[in-house]
Structures are given as structure tokens and as C-alpha cells.
Chains A and B, each alone.
Chain A
Amino acid sequence: MKKSLAAIVLIFILIITACSNNAGNNESDSEASGQEQNGQIDIQFGSPIDPNMEQAGQLEKKTGETLENNRWTKLFAEKNGVVTHYKLVNPQGDYAQKLKLSIASGDLPDIYIVTDKSDLKQLAEGGAIQEMGPIYDQYASPLLKSIIESESMKVFDPMTYDGKVYGVPAKMPSTNGYNHLWIREDWLQKLGLERPKTMDDLYHVANAFAKQDPDGNGKADTFGLGLHKDFLNGMKGLFWSYKAYPDFWYKNASGQIVYGSAQQEMKKPLELLARMYKEGLVDHEFGSNDESKMLESVVAGKTGMIYAPHWTAYSVEKTMENDPQAKWIVVPLPTEGSDPITIPLTNSTDGTYVVNKDFKHPEKLVEMLNTYVEALFGENADFNKYWADGDIDSVWTMSPVHTLDPSLDLKGHQDIKAALANQTTDQLTGVAKGFYKTMQDGVWGMSMMFGPEDTPFAFVDQTYPDQVMWSEYEGAPTPTMATNWSSMNELLSTEFTAMIQGKKNLDGDFDSMVQNWNKLGGTNVLEEVNAQAAK
């Protein structure tokens, strides 16, 4: 009847008001942003932390610490008077999208990280963020400066517009950009082979691995070299041996900045891959297999050699669970000719920290970063506390801001190596202590990465930083890149794939491919990049 109808409408109104009240409560912390009380200031952060990550759950269970209330946030409260809140906190992939929506709705955090260089450009040019250059110069501690600027000053390029610096980079170890040659040492020994020193050796090893039945099952079911469709990115190391630098900006002999993937040097490594393809040394399905598919064949003990980054250790170690004899090592990248190898690296960062234009205390960002690096790398650092909690790693990411010493991983390796040689492993400190403990706990992947011999970091130690060539261009995508870059890259990777498969001829088709690439926008992009770099 009418009464019950009235009741329903009433209930409906109640629901609406209830939810807006409820929402109001939830919002209360954002209303408080920037307010100072007893010297404490509330700051809303934006950070791509995955709150669902396993480590966060483990830590909460163990110590009761949460994302907004943990050892890091306590440290910032104590040292910088900052109370941490998150306005944006989403896993990596979703964060960039959420940030774009926040930009459009004008609902930005006080201090946040920007991972997409185009967003950064838009924010800086639209006046939504503050100039940070002078503040960084004034407040950054010598330690923080040494960490952020240690590799190359180009690290500030993506955040520099009209000569003003609009943020502070979240520096990460660029040694992550290394690409290593992993080999099944047990197969080498079984077949009586030497470790490859030249690309010729590498070819012979691959040949033997594919043809001489290294797994001893009487079937020709093994591959010499793991190949997958993202070879341009995932197998860069192979190209480096030939002085070819795919997906990398460097100066050629005449001082022009050029794009590595479209240079003549690419021909020789592609030729090698095409030959291996023709002779059946690599997976004929590589054009459709991604890296994780290739790793499946590695774990199944069917592939004896791969190019991959150091953290692939966690994947290749699983080979041993299916074949206890398996032993993977990393050897220095082979060379072609007499020149030592050159490693092309780009400044590795996790993004750029920026400060909302309305936020009154931009210096807090720099001060917090000071605190952060002091706690991990300073003289009175308490590395073990702030890096990990026992076997729960990633504690270092549960901070609203972070930046790491670029030589962190390498130092860990060096210290462990020295300590093992001097038998002083009980005196290890800092990173190395943490690493070594994890290794002792039987995390085999750690030993494969940071151990003293035949590991990725043994190779890094040989070459970093003396044999490193730094990228000449790290700025935001140029206008042509913004619109055409993906189709330009598509062209390169499909053509290269066809060349390896023998469907296209390397000598003839390479040049016409470069021409097409230039037509698609390559010429413009090169002009734009060179002009930008000249500024």
C-alpha cells in the first residue's frame, strides 16, 4: 500500500545518505592532508605498491605492520614529522591508469610517483606539479645526491622542461639492464666442451647442445639456444657482442644520436640467429613463444643456453627440481673480434617523485628520501631492519618513497666474494649480510645471482662501470614517438623475425626495412631526439 511504498522510498533515501556519510568517513583522512598538528604533517602519497603482495600479508601476520603503519612510516614520523596516508595505492599495471584518472579528476595526492613519462610532461606543462630543482639542491643530503647522481646526470632528463627540474628520480640499480649468457655447465662437461669465449665458440656449443643429445634420452629434442619472440629486448646480450645495440640511443662516429635497432650492426647477429634457425639449433616456434614459454623448456631440461637478465635465476633454478644434475652458470658475454665488450645501459629508475602544486612542504619529499637512504645506506644504517624482515623480503618497498643505491647489488656480490675468500662471512654487514643469509637459508636463486664465481654479478663486476656506455636519450617520448613509436617497433620486430626465419633476405631486405622505418616516422624521431638532446 501507499505506506509501504513510502517506506521503500524512505529506505532508499536512507541508503543514499548512509553511503554518502560512510564515504565521508572514509574520506576524512584525505581532508586532513597537509594539516599540521604538534609538528606532524599528514601527507597523501601515491605509489605503485601492490598491497596484495605476499610479503605484505606475511609481514602483517608476523609483526602487525601495515602499509600505512610500519617501520618505515614510523621512521618518517619520527625523523620528518610525516604521517603517511595513501590516496593512490595500486599494483604496478593499474597504477598508471589510476593516476591518469586522478589527473583528469583533479584529485591528486600530495607526493606521488609518476611512471609514465608522457604523464609527467603533461603535469609539468599543465602546472600541476612544483619545480623541485632548487629544493633538491638545497635539501638533499650528500648521500642522497651521491646515490641519485652516481651513474649519469641524464637521470634528470625526463623531468626537465624548459630547463626546470620538476621531480626527483627514484633511482634503481642500472645493472638490472645487463643481459647475461646462461649455460648448462653439466652439458658442457658431458660433451667435453669449453666455455664459449667468442661468438664462433657460442655457435659450436649451440650446435653440440642441439645435435649431440646432451640430456642422453636418445632423442634429438634439445635446443642449443633459447630463442623467443621478444629477442630484441630479452636477448640483447647476443647483439652486444657484435656492437649492435637494439632499442638503445647512442652517438655514432659522426656524433649523431642514432637508434640501435635500425643500424647496420644488427645484421651480423641476425645472420647468426638465422643460421641457427636454419640448422634447427633454436625453437622454430620462437615467433610465437614469449620468454616464459622459453623458460618452460629450460625448466624441462630441453634448452642448454639462454640470454636473460640476472633474476632469471629464480626460473632456471627450477631445472634442478626435475633434473638434480643440472647446473646453470653465467659466463662473460663472448666477443667478436679483439675489442672488449661494451654494455649499453639506460639509467634505471622506478619513476619520478613529484609534488602537488598545492602542497606547502615540497621539501618533505627530499627530507624523506634523505631519511630513506640514511636508513639503508648511511653510516648508521640499519639495513637488516629496513630491507627485509627475516625471510620476508621487499620490506624496502613498503615505504611511501624509495630510492636505491645503484651499486647495491654489485656491492653485495663484492663483499660476499671477499668475505668468502677471507673466511670472514660472519662479519658481513648491510646488503651483503642480508644476501648472504638468504643464500645460507638455501634460496638457491640468490647464490646463482650473487655467488663469487660464474654468476651474473661476477660479470658485472668485471665490466661495471668502466665498460658501460650510457644512453644518450632518456626524455619523454617525442611527438612522433607518441603517435607512431609502437607501429615503428612492430615493423622492426616482425621484419627481424622474418629474417631469422629465412622468409626475408638479410642483405637486401634490411635496407628497405630501414627505409620503411624512416618513412613511418624514424626520420622525424631522430630529428626530434637530436634537437632535444642539443638543448
Chain B
Amino acid sequence: MRVIKRSGNHWFGIVNYLFLMLTGIICLIPFIHIVSLSLSDKAAVLGGLVKLWPVHFTWEPYSYVLERTAFWRSFGITLERVLIGAGLNIVLVILLAYPLSKPSHKLRLRSVYVWIFFFTMLFNGGLIPNYILVKELHMLDTIWALVLPGAVSVFNIILLLNFYREVPSELEDAAYIDGAGHMRTLWQIYVPMSLPAIATITLFCIVGHWNAWFDGMIYMKGNHYPLQTYLQSIVIKFDFNTMSVSEAQRLAKLNDRSVKAAQMIVAAIPILLVYPYLQKYFVTGIRLGSVKG
């Protein structure tokens, strides 16, 4: 911590606090509004009367969501996907970043490997070949279609390998002399020393899987949509032009902003719960390579 007293401008300090507070409030207002919508009576919401406080307070939208099987089914699928998907992501990233963090003289073909991984960040075959592949692997409409194609995240490998590089090579050499192989060195030296980065990456993976929607729409049947795909189909796709008349009639009857709001809130809560725990690692956990000036 810096303890030097800096000759400060008192007014600047106050203005600064006020400004930051104001920004914070502005950032929060949309969420407060949505929470208010979700706790208000249908008619008040439809008439546009709800602002930053619920009007005709009611829990009804939430009890409605609680009873909505489809919502919880999607919720469960997303939970499964986060557990399997993020777990796989992390194991792979820990394993892959280790060899790639070594200089070329310690790992032959390193630059070939690096190019192999790097290239995939830029080129992809497009939707149709991916779909055909997933179909040929018999993974359509299974959790693996959501988990395996994105299991290797090159971006996260970069994050972690730059962390690994900070580990003093003396430690590794000492371990080698003790007879430890690479696996043990990785688990006993590298992983413990990179915990902040691993925590950060864990958060990225959890959030990434929680928020993914497009693959769910492409690979899953409607009754197996993950949560965000489900939300997308009810909150955002509301295009009467592409809809059959019977569908339009059904939706006209159901158009209900407060229930939509309640579903968005419930879908955001898990993230709200996870991220403060992992937040403290951010500042140390994000290091995009080393800069030697």
C-alpha cells in the first residue's frame, strides 16, 4: 500500500466521491427498474406506471415463475452445463497452459503447437459444418454439444500461461532434482502459485457457460433449451412478422412484462451469488502477458 501523503485537493475528493456514487447509481437504475417491474401488478406495468418502485406490490410474477416447469428445466440444463463444461474447461486449461508456457528449447515443436491453437481463434468453418459434425458425433440434443466444441479456450490458455511464466524456474529445477515429474511439478508448484488466475478463469468459464445461448438454439430441441436460450425465445424474440397467426394470438394473450422481468432476475441471481466471492482475485488474476519496458 502506498502510505505517502499526497497533498490533496479537498474539493476534488468530494467531487470525485459524488461522481463515482452517481455513476454507480446510474449503473444500478436499470436493474432497480426491472426489479420493480417484477414486483408490480400486471396492469400497472402495462400502463407504464412503474418506475423505480413497485406499484401495487405483488409476488405473483415470482410465484408464477416458480411454478413454470419449463423455466426450471432450462435452469437445470444450464446448471449441468456449467458443472461439466466449466470443469472440463479448467482441467484442460491447466494442462494445456503448462507445456505452452515453456520456452521453445524446453518443448520442441512449441511454436507449431502455438500456431495450431492460435489459428483456431481466427478461422472457423461456419455454422453448417459444425452442425454436421455434431450430428455425425451423435451429440445433437445432448449436453455434450454444449460442452465439448468450446472445451478448449485459447484465450484462457493465454491468460494462464502468462501466469505460469512468473513461476521462478529455480523452483521447477529444484523439484526436478527431487525427482518430481512434470505432472507433480504442475500440481504442486504451478497450480498453487497461480490460484488467483485459476479463480479468475473459473469465473470466466462459469459465466461463459451460464450466459451462452446461441449453441443451445442451434443444437438442442426446444424442450432442452438452456436458460439463456429459453429467455431469448421469450424476452427478445417477439417478432410478429415471423410468427404464425396462432402463435401471435397466444403471445398477445401472454404478453407480460412483469413475468419476463421476474425471469430475468431469477436468471441473474446465480451470477450475483458467485461473482463477489471470486471478485477479489480479479486485480491479481488478470495479467495479459508480461510487459518489459
Q: Are B243 and A92 in contact (CB under 8 A)?
A: yes
| Residues of B close to A52: CB separation below 8 A | 70-71, 73-74, 222-223, 225, 230, 233-234
Assembled-state Cα–Cα distance A67/B73 (Å): 15
Q: Are A1 and B183 in contact (CB under 8 A)?
A: yes
Q: Are B252 and A19 in contact (CB under 8 A)?
A: no
Which residue from chain B places its CB closest to the CB of A101 in the assembled complex?
B131
The interface size of chain B toward A, counting residues with CB under 8 Å, comes to 62
Which residue from chain B places its CB closest to the CB of A11 in the assembled complex?
B91
| Residues of B close to A22: CB separation below 8 A | 142, 144
Q: Are B233 and A94 in contact (CB under 8 A)?
A: yes
Q: A1-B181, A52-B230 are in contact. Are A26 and B141 (CB under 8 A)?
A: yes
| Residues of B close to A221: CB separation below 8 A | none
Q: A27-B138, A101-B131 are in contact. Are A176 and B233 (CB under 8 A)?
A: no
Q: Are A300 and B181 in contact (CB under 8 A)?
A: no
| Residues of A close to B246: CB separation below 8 A | 172, 350, 397
| Residues of A close to B252: CB separation below 8 A | 311-312, 314-315
Assembled-state Cα–Cα distance A94/B252 (Å): 19
Which of B47, B131, B253 is A322 in contact with, Cβ under 8 Å? B47
| Residues of A close to B69: CB separation below 8 A | 57, 60-61
B26 within 8 A of A: no
Which residue from chain B places its CB closest to the CB of A88 in the assembled complex?
B221
Q: Are A23 and B138 in contact (CB under 8 A)?
A: yes
A289 within 8 A of B: no
Assembled-state Cα–Cα distance A5/B95 (Å): 10
Question: Would you call the interface of chain B mostly helix, strand, loop, or mixed?
Answer: helix
Which residue from chain B places its CB closest to the CB of A1 in the assembled complex?
B181
Which of A5, A20, A104, A321 is B137 in contact with, Cβ under 8 Å? A20
Q: Are A89 and B242 in contact (CB under 8 A)?
A: no
| Residues of A close to B142: CB separation below 8 A | 19, 22-23, 26
| Residues of B close to A350: CB separation below 8 A | 244-246
* Minimum C-beta distance from B214 to chain A (A): 11
- Determine which residue in A4, A50, A56, A57 has the highest number of CB atoms from chain B within 10 A of its CB, and name it: A50
In chain B, residues 126-180, which have Cβ atoms closer than 8 Å to a Cβ of chain A?
Answer: 127-128, 131-132, 135, 137-142, 144, 148, 180
In chain A, residues 243-294, which have Cβ atoms closer than 8 Å to a Cβ of chain B?
Answer: 291-292
Assembled-state Cα–Cα distance A429/B225 (Å): 39
| Residues of A close to B67: CB separation below 8 A | 57, 61
Which residue from chain B places its CB closest to the CB of A446 in the assembled complex?
B253
Assembled-state Cα–Cα distance A233/B139 (Å): 42
| Residues of A close to B95: CB separation below 8 A | 8
Q: Are B137 and A56 in contact (CB under 8 A)?
A: no
| Residues of B close to A63: CB separation below 8 A | none
* Minimum C-beta distance from B250 to chain A (A): 6
Q: Are A90 and B222 in contact (CB under 8 A)?
A: yes
Assembled-state Cα–Cα distance A496/B141 (Å): 46
B42 within 8 A of A: yes
Assembled-state Cα–Cα distance A60/B68 (Å): 11
In chain A, residues 6-50, which have Cβ atoms closer than 8 Å to a Cβ of chain B?
Answer: 8, 15, 19-20, 22-24, 26-27, 48-50
Q: A93-B243, A105-B131, A350-B244 are in contact. Are A19 and B222 (CB under 8 A)?
A: no
Question: Would you call the interface of chain A mostly helix, strand, loop, or mixed?
Answer: helix
Q: Are A19 and B148 in contact (CB under 8 A)?
A: yes
| Residues of B close to A23: CB separation below 8 A | 137-140, 142, 144
Q: Are B180 and A1 in contact (CB under 8 A)?
A: yes
Assembled-state Cα–Cα distance A4/B185 (Å): 12
| Residues of A close to B265: CB separation below 8 A | none
| Residues of B close to A318: CB separation below 8 A | 42-43, 46-47
| Residues of B close to A20: CB separation below 8 A | 137-139
In chain A, residues 54-75, which have Cβ atoms closer than 8 Å to a Cβ of chain B?
Answer: 54, 56-57, 60-61, 67
A137 within 8 A of B: no
A134 within 8 A of B: no
| Residues of B close to A299: CB separation below 8 A | 43, 46-47
| Residues of A close to B207: CB separation below 8 A | none
B237 within 8 A of A: yes
A363 within 8 A of B: no
* Minimum C-beta distance from B126 to chain A (A): 11
* Minimum C-beta distance from B244 to chain A (A): 5
20 intermolecular pairs with C-beta atoms under 8 Å apart: A1-B180, A1-B181, A8-B91, A20-B137, A20-B139, A53-B70, A86-B221, A89-B223, A90-B222, A91-B233, A93-B233, A93-B242, A176-B245, A292-B238, A311-B249, A311-B252, A314-B252, A321-B47, A322-B43, A445-B253
Q: Which residues of B contact A (CB under 8 A)?
A: 42-44, 46-48, 67-71, 73-74, 88, 91, 95, 127-128, 131-132, 135, 137-142, 144, 148, 180-184, 187, 217-218, 221-223, 225, 230, 233-234, 237-250, 252-255
Question: Besides A314-B249, A350-B245, A397-B246, 4 other CB < 8 A contacts?
Answer: A1-B180, A22-B142, A321-B43, A321-B46
Q: Which residues of A contact B (CB under 8 A)?
A: 1-2, 4-5, 8, 15, 19-20, 22-24, 26-27, 48-54, 56-57, 60-61, 67, 86, 88-94, 96-98, 101, 104-105, 107, 115, 172, 176, 233, 291-292, 296, 299-301, 311-312, 314-315, 318, 321-322, 348, 350-351, 394, 397, 445
The 5 closest A-B pairs by CB, nearest first: A321-B43, A52-B70, A51-B223, A23-B138, A57-B69
